[in-house]
Structure 1
Amino acid sequence: MNFELVAEGLGFPEGPVLLSDGSVLVVEIRTGRLTKVMPDGAKQIVAELGGGPNGAAVGPDGAVYVCNNGGLTFFDAAPDLAIPGHAPEDYRCGSIQRVDLQSGEVVTLYDSCDGRPLRGPNDLVFDGQGGFWFSDYGKADDWTADRGWVVYARIDGSLIRRVRGGMLGPNGVGLSPDGKTLYVAETQTGRLWAMDVVEPGVLGPPPLPWAPGRLIATLPGHQMIDSLAVEAGGNVCVAGGPDGGVTVFDPDGSHEHVRLPGEVIVTNICFGGPDMCDAWITASGSGRLYRTRWPRPGLRLAYNG
């Protein structure tokens, strides 16, 4: 598989979203921006979001919705390897933001849930009914770490509720082709979970009371996984895993790894193009965005830019 470098010099890019003009939106966690990357690699700032924008998706109204984790500290382990850390001193809370792509206007849609501040919203996916699932990864310091949550919300501000908790770093979220299964990647354990969607915003009970869902697989060794995208055939492509790249999980638990040469921290993937076999991959640690031809088509999302 050949990987084409599309852009570099990005501030820990995440949340790639393909637009109809062939450009790709990425959030830059380190700089607090939403940035458009043109097909030739040129970059254009769409909005200054502040905090730590961590994931993005187009909603039913054509706006872009952003999971903002509230900010992270970073240190440079090497000239092309940035490492995220804990919350900065000016951290207040996380939020869900709405960005108008025409005007660049940014509105905070939610910054709390059930009377408690959002801690570190990370990734989101829209269902076919116009609501969205998102992960709240939580925050950590040298002494403590939050338990994370899966949350459901509506874009009109009328509903936000925690649906499934007790997770150790819930990160990437995605829906199966039939919309009946929510997949959640758990960073700290290297596990991919499946949760049954009963109706919009409602999950069926897990098979065990101490598990968040059905376990698809746990990667061996000390491996962390990040955000994800689903293929049209049902495989779940999760960024992260061995040595940086994308791990492809079959719902039956088998998996294979696609290595991204020279990269250590690979965080997300999205699909597009006429046949949905074009894949864009964020290598956050080095600040790079790549493009490649994927061997199978990705799943078309409920809404596209």
Structure 2
Amino acid sequence: MHFEALAEGLQFPEGPIAMDDGSIVLVEIQRQTLTRVSSGGDKDIVAHLGGGPNGAAIGPDGHVYVCNNGGLMWHELPGGYISSPGASDDWNGGSIQRVNLVTGSVETLYEECNGKLLRAPNDIVFDQSGGFWFTDLGKHIDDWRYLGALCYAKADGSGIVRAKFPMQSPNGIGLSPDGRTLYAAETLTSRLWAFDIEAPGVLAPPKDLRPGRLVKTLTDYQLIDSLAVQANGSVCLATLFRGGINVVNPSNGSTRYVDVPDEILVTNLCFGGADMRDAYITCSGRGRLLKARWPTAGLRLNHNA
């Protein structure tokens, strides 16, 4: 598979959104911005968000909804890669933000859930009803770790619930093509979980002591970051340290690995283009946005702009 470098010099890009005009809107966590990358690779800052903007998605109103983890510290790994070992010194919780793509105005919708601070909102997906599921990764501060959760919220800021708690570093999140199954990936356990959805914001109780249905556990220290779902229902997992994409069939757990050459921090991917086979991949540690022609079409999301 051929990977084209669409943009370089980004400051830890994540959360790519393939827009209808062919551009990609993404966050730069280290720069603390929402940024648009044109189809020709030009970069323009849409908004300054502060903290640590992470996952992003288009809502039913055409605005961008951003999971903000509240801020990270940064250091350089061998080979020139940038990574984060934990929270920034000024971290005091995360948030969900809404950004107007036309004006660049930023509004904070949520900073709490069930009376608890949002620790580090990470990734987000909208359902057909116009609400959104998101992961709260939790937070690592010195020798203390806050546990993570799966949450659901209304796009107008009127309601938020914690649907699943606790979880171990939930990161990527996505919906099955029929909208009845929620997928969530745990970074530190390298596990992909599936949950049956009973109603917006309501997950079916697990049938045993596990949090949900275990779809797959990756081996060889492949830590899972974000995910995207294909039109055929398979789940694409972006992985750290063995930088690549694992395509998992949820019906049987079979996996096909796609290597992303010369990368160790492959964090996110999204699908776009007329046939939904243009894959856009963030390689955060080196500040790159790659483009590739994917063999299978991605699932068209419920909202775009």
TM > 0.5 fold call: yes
- 2:260 matched residue in structure 1: 260
Q: What is the aligned residue count?
A: 304
Measured in 1, the distance between the counterparts of 2:253 and 2:298 equals 19
* Structure 2: gaps spanning 5 or more residues: none
- 1:280 matched residue in structure 2: 280
Measured in 2, the distance between the counterparts of 1:241 and 1:101 equals 30
**Which amino acid in 2 is paired with 1:70?**
G
> The residue matched to 1:135 in structure 2 has which SS?
strand
- 2:244 matched residue in structure 1: 245
Counterpart contact for 1:189–1:223, Cα < 8 Å: no
**Which amino acid in 2 is paired with 1:222?**
Y
> The residue matched to 2:285 in structure 1 has which SS?
helix
- 1:172 matched residue in structure 2: 172
Give the TM-score normalised by the residue count of structure 2: 0.98
Measured in 2, the distance between the counterparts of 1:141 and 1:174 equals 27
Report Cα offsets for 1:210-239 as digits up to 9, x if no partner.
Answer: x22100010113221010110000000010
Measured in 2, the distance between the counterparts of 1:115 and 1:42 equals 42
* Structure 1: gaps spanning 5 or more residues: none
Shift of 1:187: 0.3
> The residue matched to 1:130 in structure 2 has which SS?
coil
Measured in 2, the distance between the counterparts of 1:206 and 1:144 equals 28
Query: For the structure 1 residues 207 and 242, does the alpha-carbon distance in structure 2 shift closer, same or farther, using more than 3 Å as the test?
Result: farther
1:147-162 matches, within 5 Å, as 147-162=147-162
Shift of 1:86: 1.1
**Which amino acid in 1 is paired with 2:285?**
G
Report Cα offsets for 1:48-82 as digits up to 9, x if no partner.
Answer: 00000000000000000000000111101146300
Q: Post-superposition, which runs of at least 4 consecutive aligned residues in structure 1 deviate over 4 A?
A: none
Measured in 2, the distance between the counterparts of 1:191 and 1:243 equals 15
Shift of 1:241: 5.4
Measured in 2, the distance between the counterparts of 1:116 and 1:191 equals 26
Query: For the structure 1 residues 218 and 241, does the alpha-carbon distance in structure 2 shift closer, same or farther, using more than 3 Å as the test?
Result: farther
Give the TM-score normalised by the residue count of structure 1: 0.98
Structure 2 residue 298 is matched with structure 1 residue 298: yes
C-alpha RMSD over aligned residues: 1.0
Structure 2 residue 138 is matched with structure 1 residue 138: yes
Counterpart contact for 2:240–2:264, Cα < 8 Å: no
Counterpart contact for 1:188–1:224, Cα < 8 Å: yes
**Which amino acid in 2 is paired with 1:136?**
D
Measured in 2, the distance between the counterparts of 1:145 and 1:223 equals 21
Counterpart contact for 1:80–1:287, Cα < 8 Å: no
Which deviates further from its counterpart, 233-242 or 93-102?
A: 233-242
Shift of 1:142: 2.6
Shift of 1:19: 1.1
Counterpart contact for 1:134–1:150, Cα < 8 Å: yes
> The residue matched to 1:145 in structure 2 has which SS?
strand
- 2:228 matched residue in structure 1: 229
**Which amino acid in 2 is paired with 1:161?**
V
Structure 2 residue 108 is matched with structure 1 residue 108: yes
Aligned-pair identity (%): 56
- 1:218 matched residue in structure 2: 217
